[in-house]
Amino acid sequence: MIVGFIGSGNMAAAMARGWAGAEADAPTQMLFTDSGSGRATALAAEVGGEAVETNEELVERSDFVVLAVKPAALDGVAASLPTPRAVLSLLGATPLSVLASHFPESTVIRLMPNLAVEVRTGVICMADPEGADQEIVAESHTLLGSIATVYELPDEQMDVATAVMGCSPAYFAVVAAALGQEGASGGLEPDVAIRMVGESMAGTAELLRKRTPFEIETAVASPGGSTEAGLEALAAAGGAEAFRRAYEASIARMRGA
Ligand SMILES: NC(=O)c1ccc[n+]([C@@H]2O[C@H](COP(=O)([O-])OP(=O)(O)OC[C@H]3O[C@@H](n4cnc5c(N)ncnc54)[C@H](OP(=O)(O)O)[C@@H]3O)[C@@H](O)[C@H]2O)c1
């Protein structure tokens, strides 16, 4: 399968790096364009792909076109293209109906990946592809499954999923930076402190496959202990309420508020 990325920014790079390191089910070739920054050439060199001159050439040569531009660029990009066989759209807050109106003759699949596709432990939400060419849907699942766990959702749930799994690597990074900073202030090597927080997050992620968040919280926070003191301070400073606000702000931005 030849996969062409229109746009070579953060998310294109994450997916391409994930596929470049995958042992199976990766594209046979990856093609890239940008709007003139040179990121396509740099990314192609990094992952062993090819930067091509124009979006038109990329579409003509690709089995799958990954639309990896900002949503505001959609009109301009789509207007100048020949008909792609299949479009995988990464565009935030851009429903299937809008995508289909730009690519009426193509099979269009709406995705929402998160940054962890780069290390092949990502989450990719796929808007329910019912009615799409099922051979292309199956091929998409094979490709995407090599870098992520894929969830099919109704199109109207994609914004909520974006706020929960697309944005959250940045929120977890804030937590890691804050705890790492405190560890470093307390005398740990800054790199070691960040790695320890990261490993703790990875272990907690694994625990979440078996236990509820409440079970984990109560198993760590024994009465009168240091975690309990930390949780009380966290709650007093906003705690879970801060994440609720982050969620609401993301949703509001996606919905144009
Ligand atoms: N970042 C994330 O974690 C994330 C997560 C989920 C979904 N997404 C979605 O992924 C999409 C891309 O996001 P991003 O963070 O990767 O953005 P980004 O880093 O700003 O990259 C956008 C890319 O699009 C290119 N571009 C713009 N106009 C173009 C054109 N006419 N032809 C070819 N390339 C063009 C830009 O070219 P230049 O390099 O020349 O500027 C750049 O390489 C967005 O729709 C976003 O909603 C992102």
Model confidence at 80, pLDDT cuts 50, 70, 90, reads confident
Task: State whether 28 and 90 are in the same domain.
Answer: yes
- Does the beta carbon of 35 sit less than 6 angstroms from any atom of ligand 1? yes
Mean pLDDT of the chain: 97
Q: Looking at beta carbons, which pairs linking 194-201 to residues 24 or more positions away fall under 8 Å?
A: 201/172, 201/175, 201/176
Q: Are residues 117 and 223 in the same domain?
A: no
Model pTM score: 0.95
Atom of ligand 1 nearest to the CA of 76: 31
Whether residue 204 is predicted with pLDDT greater than 90 in this model: the reply is yes
| Claim to verify: residue 172 and residue 142 sit in the same structural domain | no
From 112, 147, 19, 4, select the one nearest 63 (Cα to Cα): 4
* Whether the predicted pLDDT of 247 surpasses 90: yes
The CATH number that applies at residue 27 is 3.40.50.720
- Give residues with Cβ within 8 angstroms of 156, minimum separation 6: 95
Query: Residue 172 domain-assigned?
Result: yes
Same domain, 134 and 208: no
Q: Is any ligand 1 atom within 6 A of the Cβ of residue 20? A: no
- Report angle CA 35, 40, 45 to the nearest 5 degrees: 165
Whether residues 130 and 172 share a domain: the answer is: no
At residue 49, does pLDDT exceed 90? yes
Q: Are residues 38 and 150 in the same domain?
A: yes
Are residues 240 and 182 located together in one domain of the fold?
Answer: yes
CA distance 248 to 189: 36
Distance of CA 243 to the CA centre of its chain: 19
Please indicate, yes or no, whether residues 143 and 28 belong to a single structural domain of this protein. Answer: yes
Q: Give per-residue pLDDT as tens, 213-245.
A: 999 999 999 999 999 999 999 999 999 999 999
Q: For the chain, how many structural domains are there in total?
A: 2
What's the pLDDT score for residue 11? Answer: 98
Q: What is the pLDDT of residues 136-169, one digit of tens each?
A: 999 999 999 999 999 999 999 999 999 999 999 9
pLDDT at residue 16 tops 80 = yes
Pairing relationship of beta strands 122-127 and 64-67 according to DSSP bridges: unpaired
Q: What pLDDT is stored for residue 109 in this prediction?
A: 98
* Band of pLDDT at residue 92, cut at 50, 70 and 90: very high
Same domain for 234 and 129? no
Query: Which two structure tokens, joined as six digits, stand for 215?
Result: 């079970």
Q: Would you say the CB of residue 10 lies under 6 angstroms from ligand 1?
A: yes
Q: 174 and 99 share a domain?
A: no
| Domain range enclosing 24 | 2-154
pLDDT at 256: 87
**Residue 163 forms part of a structural domain:** no
Tell whether 159 is covered by a domain.
Answer: no
* Domain-embedded: residue 102: yes
**Which CATH number covers residue 246?**
1.10.3730.10
Residue 257 reports pLDDT greater than 90: no
Question: Comparing C-alpha atoms, which of 3, 217, 251, 22 is closest to residue 122?
Answer: 22
User: Which of 6, 34, 74, 94, when mutated, tests ligand 1's pocket best, judged by the most ligand atoms within 8 Å of its CB?
Assistant: 34
- Length, in residues, of the chain: 257
Note whether residue 202 is domain-resident: yes
User: With the C-alpha atoms ordered 172, 174, 178, 180, is the resulting torsion angle positive or negative?
Assistant: positive
Interval 164-192: pLDDT, tens: 999 999 999 999 999 999 999 999 999 99
- Decide which of 121, 154, 187 is a domain's last residue: 154
Final residue in a domain of this structure, among 93, 125, 154: 154
Cβ of residue 9 lying under 6 Å from some atom of ligand 1? yes
Domain boundary among 130, 154, 178: 154
**Is residue 82 domain-shared with residue 135, that is, in the same domain?**
yes
Mean pLDDT on 64-86: 96
